[in-house]
Chain A
Amino acid sequence: MSSYRIGIDVGGTHTDAVILDESYNVISEVKAPTTEDVSSGIYNAMKEVVASADVPVEKIKFAMLGTTHCTNAIVERKRLNRVAIIRIGAPATLAIKPLVGVPEDLKTILGKHVYLVRGGHEFDGREIVELDEQHIYQIAEEIKGQVDSVAIVSVFSPVSDTHETRAAAILAEVLGNDVALSMSNEIGSVGLLERENATILNAAIVDVARSTADGFVQALKQEGIHAKVFFGQNDGTLMSVEYTVKYPILTIACGPTNSLRGASYLTEQSDAIVVDVGGTTTDVGVLIGSFPRQSSLAVEIGGVRTNFRMPDISAIGLGGGTIVQINDDRSFQIGPESVGHKLHEKSLIFGGDTLTTTDIAVALGKAELGNPEHIAHLDKALLEKIYAEMIGMVEESIDKMKTSAEPVPVILVGGGSILFPAELKGASEVIKPNNSGVANAIGSAISQVSGQIERIFSLDELGREKTLEAAKEMARQEAINAGADPDDLVIVDFEDVPLAYLPGDATKIRAKAAGALAIG
């Protein structure tokens, strides 16, 4: 029996939706405007793509959503939960209190119930001191009815999670199931403040995630679709609704990832540079083993420093709507201003009054669009110079992202990709796949399920080989728990970094396993 899946990805300008069959062929695709409330844009795109697909709705079995609801809630400081913060780490850690360095407006909202409790672990798993369970009971009584959500953070919980788990058990015992509990060891890695911040943000957006998920499920039902719903996360893999509601923070920045993953799928390339040309900017990212290469820098979300790993993206101010200014002395300036999504009103080829990069490409016969007569009067020699510089900008950006001088495949996606030629310096080949305009929605639809671990291991105990294997096995198990097919698992990311100034070959290991969704 054939089955279908819907993939939706919310971008800044457009909400894209696709329907794929079980062999991942694109049955229909839609670009709808992103709306202020995000949700209605999603529903519109979903309805439209279902209507144009002409497939039996009962055969749509999966729905994958990559959305910006959670990011927006944090950035706009809206609809956030009433949160309590419990840091387990005293007598250590007092020199920097929770929420230090967080913007004041957010601190006021999130900092109403902050507690520092005795407990936590050393780097090698010893207890710093015993967990003060009485204090946790006392806090539970105090916050009863005052908060909807609690962030629990314990020192070195990526090494030993026992104090966080015990504190969560006590809180659940006193507060029941109505209060959401976010444990830091399931959200971030070593680095207390960044992990704590991410856990607090997570606790603050639990309800946003819940209402987004409920709304999406309801909207599907109204169309007669009873699909299993998944959310995209920033590493390009999927989470179930249950998991999303527990760990909504992981949905942040899934957009760029979906675009890279979609490009990989459409071209069957696992290692390549992806150039996503939008209206205003071009985002250049790198695929390694079919997944985005991640940035090594600390990531800020709504002004809050976290230790999330995000795709390493180099953005330049050059897109299909970028404005080109020509001066009297024949010098010129490309961008960074853009006409954005008003290309069809403002650019010369559509009868507007603004010279854009798209006009240049059309005038030189590199692309076919609009009415070329509007631009026939322009000086071709000068346009060639401008076009050469546009290509130079993209080529430089590609070169900066490459890891060696070896030519690599370059994949062009996004609405503005018609600007660029089939040959680029540093590229072994330039691939422009079909359906490249909705690569991100496709990326959302074809996402795999993953599991990840990141913690400090002592290589002295088992030896290097066995420790690395144990870490990989833990990652595989996480992926299976998240719904991956055990027979289809691959380790997609692995890194071990020895820690300076520590004996026993203490090594931080990160491992991620991913595989296809277990169907059935």
Chain B
Amino acid sequence: MRYIGIEEIENIAIGAALLGTGGGGDPYIGKLMAQQAVEEYGPIRLISPDEVPDDALVIPSAMMGAPTVMVEKIPNGEEAVAAFEAIQEYLGKEVYATMPIEAGGVNSLLPLALAARLGLPVIDADGMGRAFPELQMVTFYLDGVPATPMVLSDEKGNNLLLNTINNVWAERIARTATIEMGGSVMLSIYPMDGKTVKQSAIHNILTLEEEIGRKIREAKERNEDPIEEVLKLTNGHRLFKGKVTDINRKTEAGFAKGTATIEGLDDYKGEECYLHFQNEHLLAETKDKVLCVTPDLIAVLDSDTGMPITTEGLKYGARCIVIGMPANPLWRTDKGIEVAGPRYFGYDLDFTPLEDLIRKEGN
């Protein structure tokens, strides 16, 4: 167990933006919420999954909806508490701890704000190790853990308890309700016991984010290139460097899809990289080879500052470096690839691990 304060939150937010792989929403709002909560309620206890008793009740917390709505209609902080209390009452058991389901983007920080308010510990784990757009895209689901009972709460005081036949239905109903409730709600979801957390969650992810954030900030202060450090921490690889020369976007069923063309600079001069995204960066390829594909992680970093660029922030002329990072082994199973691999997102290719793609190229 250790305590998380203002400084640690600052670092986690940067790591969360990187593991957000272009999506997951700007962690900025989550960071400020967590920091205000720490100022009002004191520091947060961060515990490792091993410290959680097997039979303890754990309830992750997250936001659902459009990050663009959340940056305008900021939560009041009580939504997550209400969602938590409603599910606790329904299950008739006291909650031991909370945790993120999604470490990438804004959702890594929101459980911290909740934990500070309630005085509960946060578990150093999540269900994605990155960001993904749909509720069933979590490692808990791969192990058959149901998303429901879950509760959606808005700032007006509405609570909605869902019990669905499967996680796809949970996703479908929750998404429709979210729109009616104002485009952005807080969830308590995937209630599970401590044993399940140990088996099915991705461990030590908040600590990894904190280290990534610290390295990027330190390198920035020393005017050094932070990317090497980031690659070391994540076992990642540098895939491409260039500038964005074309962006093609469309919205389908609430998802921002598109392709960015990046023209090579320096070592990559004369080449082009095509970056396909659907809220998150999902596939990076050149004319004749795949560089990295989901569920492995693709992050785009500003080549001047080393800071992550989101899919919405990708602009004509942006100078960037594309990096790839291997996904947690839980994602590289048959079930993991079925749930969040290239074919699920409509890309006609098989998943190949990043290391194999790199090796094939002979680097």
Residues of A participating in the B interface, judged by any CB pair closer than 8 Å: 89-97, 100-101, 120, 122-124, 126, 128-129, 155-156, 190-193, 286, 293, 296, 312, 399-405, 497-503, 505, 507-508
Contact = CB atoms under 8 A, between A and B. Distances in A.
A123 B72 contact: yes
Contact of A95 (B113, B183, B313): B113
B243 A192 contact: no
A118 B67 CA distance: 22
A503 B179 contact: yes
Nearest to A502: B66
A500 B78 CA distance: 25
A499 B156 contact: no
B38 to A, nearest CB: 12
Contacts of A97: 36
Contacts of A122: 73, 182-183
B248 to A, nearest CB: 12
A192 B76 contact: no
B318 to A, nearest CB: 7
In the A-B complex, the 9 residue pairs with the smallest Cβ-Cβ separation, listed nearest first, are A498-B251, A95-B77, A94-B76, A501-B66, A500-B256, A92-B155, A93-B74, A296-B315, A95-B33
Contacts of A190: 68, 71-72
Interface string B302-320: 0000000001110111110
Nearest to B31: A101
A123 B183 contact: yes
A97 B32 CA distance: 9
A101 B31 CA distance: 10
Given A403-B316, A405-B263, A93 B251 contact: no
Interface in B151-172: 155-157
B219 to A, nearest CB: 19
Contacts of A101: 32
B317 A128 contact: no
Nearest to B113: A95
25 contacts: A91-B155, A91-B156, A92-B74, A94-B78, A95-B37, A95-B76, A101-B32, A122-B73, A128-B182, A156-B73, A190-B68, A191-B71, A193-B29, A193-B74, A296-B313, A312-B317, A400-B265, A400-B319, A405-B263, A498-B251, A499-B66, A499-B256, A502-B69, A502-B254, A508-B68
Contact of B68 (A89, A403, A405, A500): A500
B345 interface: no
Interface in B224-254: 243, 245, 249-251, 253-254
A126 B318 CA distance: 36
B73 A123 contact: yes
A177 B312 CA distance: 42
Interface string B26-48: 00010011011100000000000
A123 B74 CA distance: 12
Nearest to B80: A95
A507 to B, nearest CB: 7
A129 B66 contact: no
Residue among A101, A126, A498, A508 with the most chain B CB within 10 A? A498
Contact of B29 (A96, A123, A124, A508): A96
A21 to B, nearest CB: 37
A497 B249 contact: yes
User: Chain A at the B interface: mostly helix, strand, loop or mixed?
Assistant: loop
Contacts of B353: none
A251 to B, nearest CB: 25
B341 interface: no
Contact of B254 (A90, A126, A401, A500): A500
B66 A123 contact: yes
Contact of A93 (B73, B245, B317): B73
State which size class the interface on B falls in: 35 or more
Contacts of A96: 29, 32-33, 36, 74
A123 B73 CA distance: 8
Residue among A97, A124, A129, A403 with the most chain B CB within 10 A? A403
B65 interface: yes
Contacts of A498: 249-251, 256
Contacts of A100: 32, 35-36
Interface in B163-198: 179, 182-183
A401 B317 CA distance: 7
A136 B72 CA distance: 21
A335 to B, nearest CB: 15
A502 B68 contact: yes
B66 A128 contact: no
B279 interface: yes
Nearest to A129: B156
Given A100-B32, A120-B73, A500-B68, 4 more contacts: A155-B73, A400-B265, A497-B249, A500-B67
Contacts of A501: 65-68, 133, 183, 254-255, 279
A296 B33 contact: no
Contacts of B315: 296
A128 B316 contact: no
B75 interface: yes
Given A101-B32, A400-B319, A501-B255, A93 B313 contact: no
A123 B182 contact: yes
Interface in B297-345: 311-313, 315-319
Contacts of B182: 122-123, 126, 128
Contacts of A95: 33, 36-37, 74-77, 113
A90 B156 CA distance: 9
Interface string B54-85: 00000000000111110111111110000000
Nearest to A190: B72
A156 B72 contact: yes
Given A500-B312, A502-B254, A192 B72 contact: yes
Contacts of B68: 123, 190, 499-502, 508
Nearest to A312: B317
Contact of A500 (B36, B37, B251, B318): B251
Nearest to B34: A95
B66 A500 contact: yes
A502 B183 contact: yes
Contacts of A193: 29, 32, 71, 74
Nearest to B258: A498
A225 B66 CA distance: 54
A505 B255 CA distance: 10
A193 B182 CA distance: 19
A122 B279 CA distance: 22
Nearest to A296: B315
Contacts of A120: 73
A101 B33 CA distance: 11
